[in-house]
Amino acid sequence: MVDLILVLILLLALAAVAWPFLFYPLILRALPAKTEQPLPGTAPTASLLFCAYNEAAAMPEKLANLAMLKARHPGLEIWAFDDGSSDDTAALIEGPGDLVTLIRGPGRSGKAHGMKQLAARARGDVLIFTDANVLLDADAVDNLLARYADPEIGGVLGSLHYVGEDESATASVGSLYWRMEERLKDEESRTGNVLGADGSIFSIRRSLYPDFPDSVLDDLTVSMAVIFAGRRLVKAKDVIARERLVAARGDEYRRKVRIAARAWHTHSHLRPQLRRMKALDRFKYASRKIIRWFGGLFILTGGVAAAALAWRISPLLFGAALLAAALLAGIAFRARGGPLAALADILIAYAATLQGVMKAMRGRTVTIWNPAKSR
């Protein structure tokens, strides 16, 4: 009976780890599509907003990209918030004259605070949010605004394409993970709503912009406000943004801890509204977010169950398996490329996410951010 329970725990743990990447996508593909119903009319006006902290290295390319977008869309407002940079970020943003309207923060106050300052000043019908190190394709704004021809659509996400995936195992794993994430969002969009946006490129109607504390993830909070308002949050494959991957494990680990801590804190803030969502949206949210946040716990539980089962079968088998696992882990964490290095980075990502969630559960979160040095 004990062996059966251990096998059941192991299988359930494996199923939980695989759920967001295997079973959930298969269920989404079986659901019917929800079509859009665009109406004729003029395209809405737009304001593009981004926050920056010590992004001087990224600014020349960013400003050239913004100049290109402005030339295609002369009426496009561009706003930036400098979060107390200690380098030349603010001076570089102000350099091209009236291309970007800059708001200087009083010091480190965080991205959520900065985005609220920008949104309060923007005048466009649609607010487009992006990051300081993200570049948009030439037709991104056109394709994004075209989706607002359907009055039911309250928010539109873009597609993030990472560059630099060959620079390290960490970057390669990050690229693979993000490609899977993009496909999931495509299926969620096809069947109704995407459950939350990434800050690299998304937009909402300005009338739907919510009020929220500075401690939450602004991209998740703002994008979910669209669904809470009864509008659709969809993804546009032809709205393409590009960003360089984080190449160093330490940078990526700290980034995932920070994001997970703020995500759980944001989840707690949004819980009353999450409970009022439609059943399908609650299912999507749990499948893509909550189950994934606890993936590290499922892996740990499965490992303990497997170890206990091996011990009950044979202590010798348990010892041999433990030694093999230790050797494999040592090789994997020292490897700089290949499948073992990829496996190590996957486990590190799960560990970082679980650490961030546990940190938030203890009442601790992170408001400010630092750009990764290994981008």
**pLDDT tens for each residue of 194-233:** 999 988 999 999 999 999 999 899 999 999 999 999 999 9
Q: What is the pLDDT of residue 367?
A: 72
Distance, in Å, from the CA atom of 203 to the CA atom of 214, rounded to the nearest integer, reads 19
CB 65 within 8 A of CB 141: no
| Distance in Å from the first CA to the final CA of the chain | 52
Sheet with 101-104, strands from edge to edge, namely 101-104, 77-82, 46-52, 126-130, 201-205, 153-163, 232-244, 135-136
CB 167 within 8 A of CB 86: no
Rounded average pLDDT over 285-308 = 92
CB 52 within 8 A of CB 81: yes
pLDDT of residue 342 exceeding 70, the answer is no
Q: What is the pLDDT of residue 332?
A: 66
Nearest alpha-carbon partner for 131 in 83, 164, 99: 83
Distance, in Å, from the CA atom of 220 to the CA atom of 223, rounded to the nearest integer, reads 5
* 311 vs 121 pLDDT, higher one: 121
As a whole number, the mean pLDDT across the chain is 89
